[in-house]
Structure 1
Amino acid sequence: MSSVRRRMANLANSVCLKHSVSLWFPHQSPAAHRSSSIGFRTFHRSYVVSSSSFSNENREFVIVGGGNAAGYAARTFVEHGMADGRLAIVSKEAHAPYERPALTKGYLFPLDKKPARLPGFHTCVGSGGERQTPDWYKENGIEMFYEDLVSNIDIEKQTLTTNSGKLLKYGSLIVATGCTASRLPEKIGGNLPGVHYIRDVADADALISSLIVFPENYLLQRLFTPSLARRYEEFYQQNGVKFLKGASIKNLEAGVDGRVTYVKLDDGSTIEADTVIIGIGAKPAVSPFERVGLESSVGGIQVDGLFRTRVPGIFAVGDVAAFPLKMYNRIARVEHVDHARRSAQHCVKALLSAQTDIWRDH
């Protein structure tokens, strides 16, 4: 082992021994969907890097994910002086972490309205923080693995395997994988060319929508009152958007060129379309972390008030985390950018200090 790697391994051991890691044993099944007093057992854990076969030089902390939560977690590590030479991030994205809400907002503005483009909305500009470009990660000694997915986790050996064949070692792991877009079934045309799902920059490129089809009686029924929904509908209609209320899609059909051409509705009517954007919700991206512990009621990876999973040294934050919401005495999973930011920050502080307060509300 080189002197640099030996020093890194020794440093990793000293930090892991300094900070305790807790294993959570809930008093009742997660399916009960109610939180209660939680008992903890504390384990002190260390590991030794004895081989150069790992793809990541920075083996103490690893974040899996490339969205808001990953970017804000990285910033918190930097703020506490624990990133340089210690942190690695694995992301399926081709870009450094960015403020994902921009994809369905400023990114789709017409050119004369100055649409959002990278590097303009890298984290953490959404909260008034520093713009963390790829150079920012290099300057802070953070190792980045772009365009790669984690395909397997070995909890006992504390290793991750990626689709590209990389073997990564971790001391503490933060799962910040977020959600994946819910898709229409392939048998009704959900994967036809011209059908889009907006979850990343590639999805959002060159898209514009002129017709919205939804089964409810008014827009965003889950979020808006009827009067507020009407105000939004009027605004959109003034800008050329049409609404089909109470309508459901039966299937999508392709033309002679193989691209989507028609949208068939349940009432038998047909809409011509050369581009279809599907927005039917999202699912927590838990694979391949199912063994860490899933929450059966709201989905996602179950964590405690410090975002610790049942497995020592593994944490989950953001959209994928199902945490105890004390205000309503239940387990919750929140798909909101503010929760992604704040849960990531709170998790890193909890990881680095046993004195961090319990998370009580987003």
Structure 2
Amino acid sequence: MSHIVVIGAGQAGASLVGKLRSEGFEGEITLLGAEDGPPYQRPALSKAYLLGEMERERLFLRPRDWYDGNDINLRTGTRAVAVDATNKTVTLEGDEVLVYDHLAFTTGSHPRTLPAAIGGDLDGVYTVRDLADADAMTPEFVKGRRLLIIGGGYIGLEAAAVAAKLGLHVVLVEMADRILQRVAAPETSDYFRDLHTVHGVDIREGVGLERLVGEDRVRGAVLSDGMELDVDFVIVGVGIYPATALAESAGVAYDNGILTNAQGRTSDPHIWAAGDCATLAWKGAQIRLESVGNAIDQAETVARNMLGANTDYAPKPWFWSDQYDCKLQIAGLNIGYDHVVTRRTGDAQSHWYYDGETLLAVDAMNDPRSYMIGKRLIEAGKSPAPDVIANPDTDMKALLKA
């Protein structure tokens, strides 16, 4: 009877072990997680959980007794410190050694932090990546306090929305020319800049952080334009990087993530990877998809392939973000777009990314219909003419039959 060890008890790890059992694997499964609790959903940490609208137990993907009932050895509070790919062993803190037949890395990613030289190690400076981060910063969200957010990506904007709703004074600085510059078109940036401005958030683009000020705890900030701010706490949302250190030390090939083939196998035939830590083949390149949808789908494909399915992973990218009363839903990848078409119907708005005449992606703001139709069109390889999309009288559902 074989033993599968999965390192990383997040969304990908939980999805992988669940699929192994549902596909009929009867061998031993060990899921290793460095955090104390069972696998949980992370997106809610910067949204409902931080707002106090979601209880801790509702974060959990499955109750702990589900793992026991499915004979999955979930070992929380357990950190793997070394992998010996030659002898197929995993060494844990405390020097316990596990022997595996197949191993999967679902180690996720780490938040980028500020250097200590500019005050990144001061008390009151936070990132939003795990449950401990969210719990640590929750007491800071008191009406009237001053929050500085560094980074205008989705994490920073979601945190700004929470803080503004709770009555804090929020300044958000983005070093690039516009918020969401790395991930979205100017039209989407404009939409969310206007949304946050209406709610009182002070967004400053093209402005970076020079340094944070304080003895032990942050009390101020000096920005790259010379402006000095008094602040009570700081949230840093300047991106993430894949957690590949353990895989690298095991000799597994990596390049901005653990390199995998179309089936999720690494350069070692007995080692696999899925989720934020892993790259995947897409249109002749290796990319990483940082999303819940990819973590689930890629991990489930890896599980099936561990059992001999020999199935290539075909990503169907989708993402979302909740800010105030706006739900943003994204389908597809906008990599390589050359123009954007805007569609407005009432209060709903969507931005459709095209490369020439080819539809690549859709950003839908409070427009679930456009999101679902756009997602199905992209997955079917269909590209309606841009002027058809822009026309508010177009019967969108009919496009699926064209």
Question: What is the TM-score with the length of structure 2 in the denominator?
Answer: 0.68
- 4+ runs of 1 displaced by more than 6 Å? none
Distance 1:254-1:221 versus aligned 2 partners, 3 A rule: same
How far apart, in 1, do the equivalents of 2:251 and 2:305 lie? Answer: 18
SS in 2 for 1:119: helix
Q: Is the 8 A contact 1:97 1:122 kept in 2?
A: yes
2:266 aligned partner: 309
SS in 2 for 1:120: helix
Q: Is the 8 A contact 2:5 2:103 kept in 1?
A: yes
2:285 aligned partner: 330
CA displacement, residues 29-56 of structure 1 (integer Å, 9 cap, x when unaligned): xxxxxxxxxxxxxxxxxxxxxxxxxxxx
Structure of higher RCO (CA pairs closer than 8 Å, 6+ residues apart) = 1
2:17 aligned partner: 74
CA displacement, residues 220-276 of structure 1 (integer Å, 9 cap, x when unaligned): 112233232222122223333221211100111214xx1111111112211111211
SS in 1 for 2:289: coil
Q: Is the 8 A contact 2:253 2:267 kept in 1?
A: no
Q: Is the 8 A contact 1:292 1:309 kept in 2?
A: no
2:33 aligned partner: 91
Distance 1:250-1:329 versus aligned 2 partners, 3 A rule: same
Q: Is the 8 A contact 1:148 1:164 kept in 2?
A: no
How far apart, in 1, do the equivalents of 2:275 and 2:124 lie? Answer: 30
How far apart, in 2, do the equivalents of 1:274 and 1:266 lie? Answer: 19
1:62-211 to 2 correspondences below 5 Å: 62-82=5-25, 86-109=28-51, 111=52, 115-123=53-61, 132-205=62-135, 206=138, 208=141, 209=163, 210-211=170-171
Q: Calculate percent identity across the aligned residue pairs.
A: 28
Once the two structures are TM-superposed, the CA of residue 99 in structure 1 deviates from its matched residue by: 1.5
How far apart, in 2, do the equivalents of 1:251 and 1:163 lie? Answer: 36
Extract unaligned runs of 5+ from structure 2: 142-162, 164-169, 317-402
How far apart, in 2, do the equivalents of 1:332 and 1:228 lie? Answer: 23
Q: Is the 8 A contact 1:317 1:344 kept in 2?
A: yes
How far apart, in 1, do the equivalents of 2:46 and 2:233 lie? Answer: 16
CA displacement, residues 287-330 of structure 1 (integer Å, 9 cap, x when unaligned): 1211343333xx111111111111121101011111211xx211
Extract unaligned runs of 5+ from structure 1: 1-10, 13-59, 124-131
Q: Is the 8 A contact 1:292 1:301 kept in 2?
A: no
Q: Is the 8 A contact 2:298 2:315 kept in 1?
A: no
Q: Is the 8 A contact 2:16 2:303 kept in 1?
A: yes
How far apart, in 2, do the equivalents of 1:220 and 1:190 lie? Answer: 23
2:214 aligned partner: 254
How far apart, in 2, do the equivalents of 1:292 and 1:104 lie? Answer: 35
2:148 aligned partner: none
2:339 aligned partner: none
Alignment length (residue pairs): 285
Q: Is the 8 A contact 1:62 1:88 kept in 2?
A: yes
1:294 aligned partner: 253
SS in 2 for 1:61: strand
How far apart, in 2, do the equivalents of 1:184 and 1:118 lie? Answer: 28
Letter of the aligned partner of 1:73 in structure 2? L
How far apart, in 1, do the equivalents of 2:103 and 2:240 lie? Answer: 24
2:231 aligned partner: 273
Question: What is the TM-score with the length of structure 1 in the denominator?
Answer: 0.75
How far apart, in 1, do the equivalents of 2:183 and 2:119 lie? Answer: 29
CA displacement, residues 185-213 of structure 1 (integer Å, 9 cap, x when unaligned): 11111121111111100101205442211
1:224 aligned partner: 184
- Greater per-residue strand proportion: 2
Letter of the aligned partner of 1:118 in structure 2? R
Cα root mean square deviation, aligned: 1.7
How far apart, in 2, do the equivalents of 1:197 and 1:211 lie? Answer: 16
Q: Is the 8 A contact 2:297 2:315 kept in 1?
A: no
SS in 2 for 1:319: coil
Once the two structures are TM-superposed, the CA of residue 122 in structure 1 deviates from its matched residue by: 2.2
How far apart, in 1, do the equivalents of 2:47 and 2:239 lie? Answer: 16
Once the two structures are TM-superposed, the CA of residue 158 in structure 1 deviates from its matched residue by: 1.1
1:30-69 to 2 correspondences below 5 Å: 60-69=3-12
Once the two structures are TM-superposed, the CA of residue 350 in structure 1 deviates from its matched residue by: 0.5
SS in 1 for 2:91: strand
1:4 aligned partner: none
1:128 aligned partner: none
Letter of the aligned partner of 2:221 in structure 1? V
